[in-house]
Structures are given as structure tokens and as C-alpha cells.
Amino acid sequence: MVQRFQQYIDGAFEDAKEHFDSIDPSTGEVWAHMPSASADDVDRAVQAAHRAFMDPAWANLNATARGKLLYRLADLVAQHAPRLAELETRDTGKLIRETRAQIGYVAEYYRYYAGIADKMQGAWLPVDKPDMEVTVRREPVGVVAAIVPWNSQLFLSAVKVGPALAAGCTIVLKASEDGPAPLLEFARLVHEAGFPKGVVNVVTGFGNECGRTLTSHPLVSKIAFTGGPETARHVVRNSADNLAAMSLELGGKSPVLVFDDADIESACNAVVAGIFAATGQSCVAGSRLVIQRGIHDAFVAKLVEKAEAIRIGDPQDMATEMGPLATRRQLEHIQKVLKDSVEAGARVATGGSQPSDKTRGYYFQPTIVDCPNTQVPSVTNELFGPVLSVVTFDTEAEAIAIANDTRYGLASGVFTTNLTRAHRLSRALRAGIVWVNTYRVVSPIVPFGGYGLSGLGREGGFDAAMEYTRTKSVWIRTSDEPIVDPFVMR
């Protein structure tokens, strides 16, 4: 039976005037109807968030009490993780074993920001003027517009909702039009946690109407966006209307460098997990393997063997190791870039097409392409799918040059047993994350974000919470002497 979801505005669940179909990527069939927020719905959501921001029920709630609400939300997310995971798997095709593990950990992000709520302090300044007390208050920025892409929506919204609420902001969260079910369900947990009405609003809809209205709304003070660089450019243009503060978490083309002194078995397993987990639909996917020439053939042969052993199938089955892509659009994009790459001289070592027994749904084989240079389209473009592009180097300097030859700069990996080299590379790589002898580990305590086209600002960690505040400098004159008339000459 086709399910129907509702949007959450001003503390109430409601139907939108229009709905759109959500497709199960493992079958290609419609499984749910999602509310399509109109410009008017978005305006009501922002107005509600603005009222809530000014309302003493939220504005005067002390920081410790805000933290307690966030702890309650964290407990509810943990408690409902199986249901949320099931919905995310259904709506996006991400493996149930991945969504269960990830959503279990999402609760930790809310706990981390719950703990931070009453630790965001202002300051007293030893100012160079007589008879003055100067303090710096730290205040919430106001209404936050949070926008997420379709992959890992609960996770990507936790790094926005958590710090925003800890700081005392209110929020309008826009789920992606692809796979919004888990976020619309999350709204029910916000409601149950007991946040005052309007503090959190959850809508979904298309970029052109819903996203544009939200990011250009005059009452929005901060935009926290995750998505692709092209959409980010629209968001930046939209923000010319409200001059909102902004953080942008965008895509990546992350290199994994493997040197001939590396622990080959570990490196190989990390490369496989780095690109084929989440069917490669991860912003930090290690999609470029930069490999030293001497070990190239043996390493690629090992990778091919592991890739061909991956069990592809129903994402709801705990035994499945790789599920479908989330949308037909994704599938077609990958097919096109691969075709162009082969024409540019790339050799397909394994994969390269849909599995012959899985043409229903958006399945694609784990694919490895050996590339003659860094100009091949699969090396330069983010594919957001299970495609690993291999580029070969001879020297350390060459490896660094290849790794940095990208407009992105989100993550990077280095596999070596040489300690001094590990230090040199962690300095030389132009990326927001360098993982040495490991890959794809994250924590709420650690900042996350990129260089170049990968974005602006950081999420995660303490400083990210500060991004949801601004300072107010308060000057208090402490002298009882009258202020002299400035127009009387002395």
C-alpha cells in the first residue's frame, strides 16, 4: 500500500496541497506520497520559526534546559533508530545494515550538542578605555534554513539541528525531494521531545520553489546547506536577498594514496569500503585511488577480486553488501561519465554496467577503471556512485600533485608505514580531512568540511556550534561623573 507523509509546521502535522511520488530504488516503483511544500508553506514555516525565536517559551529557556531537550531528542532517535533506518533504506536504497549503524550513531551527535548547550560562553574584555566594563554576549543568530541532500539525511541534518538548537536558534529543515521519509518521521520525534512549537519545522519539496523560497527568505539569518556545488551556487545567489550567514558542505573527489610500503591487505580493504560502501554515494567516497607503480598490478588485481565478490541485492536484506543507486538520474549520470572516460582512454578493470540479473531498480556493478592521466572524466567529476578511478605515480611528489589536482578538497587517505611521510602528507594534502592508515571514520567531536569546491565552513565539533551564534559587545560606563558637553570648548 502506498504510504502518505505529512510536513511539520508550527508544531502541527499537515498535508500539503500537492504531493509527489517517492520511488523505492530497489524496485523502481512508487511506495509513498510526499508533501511538496509550496512557497506559501515555506513562508509559514519561516514565520513560525521566527515567532518561536522571539517567544519567551524558547528565547528565555536557559541553556541547560535546551540541552535537556536535546538529550531527550537523542534518546528518542536511539529508541526509534530501527524504524528510521527502515524508512531510509526504503526511500533511498541505502543498505539496512548501513542505515541501522549510522542512525544509531546519529543519537551521539545530538548528545554531543546537548552537552555543549550550556558551554557556549561570552567574555569580559580588559578594554583600553577608563571606567568601562565591556562584556561580549554570545547570542543565537536567529532562524536557520537547513537543507540536506538525499543521502544520509538524518546524519546530515543532525550536524545542523544539533548545534542550531544548542545555540538557541530555531530552524526550518528542508528534506531532499529524493528520499525524504526519514526526516519527515524524525519530525515526530522532535514533537514528542517537547520542543516549543515552531522551534523545529520540517518540510520537503523541490529546489526551485521550496529551496529557493527558504534560502532567500528575509527572516532567515543562517543557511546550513549540504548538496552539490552547482546547487550551492544557486543558494549563494538566493542569499543575496537576506545576506544570511552560510556554511556549505559540498561534494568531493577524494584521493586515497597507497605507497609500496603500506600494509597491502588493510589498504585494499579500506579502499573497497571507501568507494563501495553506500554504493559510492557518499561525499567522502574515496573515488580516486592514487597508487605507486610497483604495486599497481597486484593491488588492482586484489581489488578486482574483492569487488567481484560483493553481494549486490535487496537493501533491506542484512546479508546484502551493496544496494542500488538512489535515483535513475544517478544511474544515467554514471553511465554517461563512464562512457566518456573509456573514450578518453580509461580501461574498465571490472564492472561498468548494470548487473545482468538486476535491471529492475537502479543497480550498478562495483566498477574499477584504470586511467592513463588525471584528465579522464571519471577522475575529474564526482560520480557519486560505485566507481573507483585508478591513477598511478612514481614518486611522493607526484602522488601529492595528483591528489591535489582537483577543484574539490573534502577528504583524503594515505596508506604508508613510513611515519615521516605520513606527517609530510598530512601537511601537503589540500583537503579538510586526512585519514592515515584508515578511511571514512567520523565523530561528532571532530570538525568536518572541505577546501575549494567542497565547501565553506565546518560542521561537527565545538566550533561548529559557535557558527550558530554571533557576539554582541556591551559597553557599560562605570563612572558617576557627568559626561561633559562635547560642544563646549575647554
Of 92, 157, 176, 378, the residue at the interface with ligand NAD (CB under 6 A) is 176
Interaction between residue 34 and ligand NAD (CB under 6 A):
no
Site for ligand NAD in 197-216 (CB under 6 A): 206-208, 211-212, 215
Interaction between residue 469 and ligand NAD (CB under 6 A):
no
Q: Answer for the pair 215, 145: CB distance below 8 angstroms, yes or no.
A: yes
Distance between CA atoms of residues 152 and 275, nearest Å: 16
Distance between CA atoms of residues 354 and 332, nearest Å: 11
Q: Quote the least distance from Cβ 230 to ligand NAD, whole Å.
A: 7
Long-range pairs for 430-436: beta carbons < 8 A, 24 or more residues apart: 430/404, 431/254, 431/255, 432/458, 433/284, 435/411
Of residues 76 and 232, the one with the C-beta less far from ligand NAD: 232
Q: Which three cell numbers stand for residue 482?
A: 557627568
Of residues 323 and 455, the one with the C-beta less far from ligand NAD: 455
In the numeric block, the cell 611528489 is attached to 397
Interaction between residue 287 and ligand NAD (CB under 6 A):
no
Q: Which segments of 303-378 are extended strands (E)?
A: 347-350, 367-370
Q: Quote the least distance from Cβ 64 to ligand NAD, whole Å.
A: 30
Of 98, 249, 314, 405, the residue at the interface with ligand NAD (CB under 6 A) is 249
Query: Which listed residue (249, 382, 459, 467) is catalytic?
Result: 249
Of residues 114 and 147, the one with the C-beta less far from ligand NAD: 147
Q: Quote the least distance from Cβ 252 to ligand NAD, whole Å.
A: 6
Q: Quote the least distance from Cβ 177 to ligand NAD, whole Å.
A: 5
Interaction between residue 333 and ligand NAD (CB under 6 A):
no
Which has the closest alpha carbon to 412: 387, 389, 437, 431?
431
- Residue 321 is among the residues annotated as catalytic for this protein: no
User: Looking at beta carbons, which residue is closest to ligand NAD?
Assistant: 207
Q: Quote the least distance from Cβ 176 to ligand NAD, whole Å.
A: 4
Of 149, 274, 315, 413, the residue at the interface with ligand NAD (CB under 6 A) is 149
Q: Answer for the pair 163, 467: CB distance below 8 angstroms, yes or no.
A: yes
Interaction between residue 447 and ligand NAD (CB under 6 A):
no
Interaction between residue 226 and ligand NAD (CB under 6 A):
yes
Cα 21 versus chain centre, distance:
24
Which has the closest alpha carbon to 88: 138, 10, 149, 42?
149
* Stretch of 54-62, 244-252, 261-269, 341-349 lying at the interface with ligand NAD (CB under 6 A): 244-252
Of 9, 283, 376, 403, the residue at the interface with ligand NAD (CB under 6 A) is 283
DSSP 49-81: HHHHHHSHHHHTS-HHHHHHHHHHHHHHHHHTH
* Stretch of 100-108, 111-119, 249-257, 332-340 lying at the interface with ligand NAD (CB under 6 A): 249-257
Q: Quote the least distance from Cβ 92 to ligand NAD, whole Å.
A: 10
Interaction between residue 22 and ligand NAD (CB under 6 A):
no
Q: Answer for the pair 64, 168: CB distance below 8 angstroms, yes or no.
A: no
Query: Which alpha helices (H) appear in 15-128, and where do they start and end?
Result: 39-54, 56-59, 63-79, 81-92, 96-116
Of residues 159 and 403, the one with the C-beta less far from ligand NAD: 159
Of residues 193 and 277, the one with the C-beta less far from ligand NAD: 277
Of 142, 162, 227, 324, the residue at the interface with ligand NAD (CB under 6 A) is 227
- How many Å is the Cα radius of gyration of the chain? 25
Interaction between residue 235 and ligand NAD (CB under 6 A):
yes
Task: Kindly determine how many residues on this chain lie close enough to bind ligand NAD according to the rule CB under 6 A.
Answer: 31
- Work out the burial of residue 243: count CB atoms within 10 Å of its CB; fewer than 13 is exposed, 13-18 middle, 19 or more buried: exposed
Interaction between residue 228 and ligand NAD (CB under 6 A):
yes
Interaction between residue 280 and ligand NAD (CB under 6 A):
no
Q: Does residue 179 come out as left (phi exceeding 0), alpha (psi in the -120 to 50 range) or beta?
A: left
How many DSSP H helices and E strands does the chain contain? 16, 21
Distance between CA atoms of residues 219 and 61, nearest Å: 21
Interaction between residue 221 and ligand NAD (CB under 6 A):
no
Q: Answer for the pair 93, 320: CB distance below 8 angstroms, yes or no.
A: no
Q: Which residues here bind ligand NAD, judged by CB under 6 A?
A: 147-151, 156, 174, 176-177, 206-208, 211-212, 215, 226-228, 231, 234-235, 238, 249-252, 283, 382, 384, 410, 455
Query: Which residues have a catalytic role annotated?
Result: 249
